[in-house]
Amino acid sequence: MLENFKSYLNTQWGLPNDAIEELCNGIKTKKVVKEEFLLKSGEVCDLTIFVEKGLLRMYALNEKGKIDILQFAPENWLVSDRGSVYFNEPSNYYIDAIESTTVVLLDQNFIDRISRLGPSFRKLNDRLLHNHIRHLNKRVSLLLGASAETRYLNFIKLYPDILLRVPQWMVASYLGIAPESLSRVRRDLAKNNFRPG
């Protein structure tokens, strides 16, 4: 149990095995079924969620009631509304399961414990935060000025293993394009013998 999470703590946060075992003692996990919510708009998000197995998405509803997907979270990904967590504000987002998923729920108590166990954690956490901001900035830049094809190719690099796990309309939502435009992009790439992965 928690093989992916323990591996993540070791490889990404550099924690030794004994510290990992101590941290994982009593840690909260949850199994969620497809379409079950972990966060709804209007709720305060007080957790960071690690995906042990399965697939989540984070999205907002725009003024027309249409889903705008901000992030997918497959295995070994973290997802949270950082603004809600850190400023204790109601979230504007939803997090739900695209497929049956096992998650690890990381609360502030866990963050405090890991900070004490790994002296370099704060520095690493800052690096993770800045990397997250870097990816968000790149995403905004792509949405504002890149072609649908460029957006799609970047999506494949970021999420190489989930194209077959999500419906095409979700990919289009993430890319900020119509499903018809995504079909056209995929057709054009196929004509040029492009194969994802």
Per-residue pLDDT of 101-147, as tens digits, reads 999 999 988 877 877 765 566 777 777 778 778 888 888 898 899 99
C-alpha separations of 26 from 22, 92, 131 in Å: 9, 30, 29
- Measured between alpha carbons, how far is residue 59 from residues 20, 24, 71, 123, 163 in Å? 31, 29, 7, 29, 18
pTM for the whole structure: 0.90
In-domain check, residue 77: yes
The answer to whether 101 and 32 are in contact (CB under 8 A) is yes
Q: What is the pLDDT of residues 45-103, one digit of tens each?
A: 999 999 999 999 999 999 999 999 999 999 999 999 988 998 999 999 999 999 999 99
Quick check: is 46 in a domain? yes
Q: Which residues contact 163 (CB under 8 A, 6 or more apart)?
A: 156, 171, 196, 197
Question: Sorting pLDDT into bands at 50, 70 and 90, what band is 196?
Answer: low
Residue 113 belongs to some domain of the structure: yes
Q: List the CATH number of the domain containing 53.
A: 2.60.120.10
Assigned domain for 112 exists: yes
Residue 107, domain member (yes or no): yes
In a domain, 155, yes or no: no
| Cα torsion angle, 131, 132, 136, 142, sign | positive
Domain hosting 36: range is 3-118
175 with 163: CB under 8 angstroms?
A: no
Q: pLDDT tens, 86-95?
A: 899 999 999 9
In 3-state terms, what secondary structure has residue 176? coil
In whole angstroms, what is the distance from residue 177 CA to residue 169 CA? 9
65: Cβ–Cβ under 8 A, 6 or more apart, which residues?
A: none
The tokens for 26 are 């009593």
Looking at the 3D structure of the chain, how many domains does it have? Answer: 1
- Note whether residue 27 is domain-resident: yes
78 in a structural domain: yes
Among the residues of 26-147, which ranges form H helices? 82-87, 108-117, 121-145
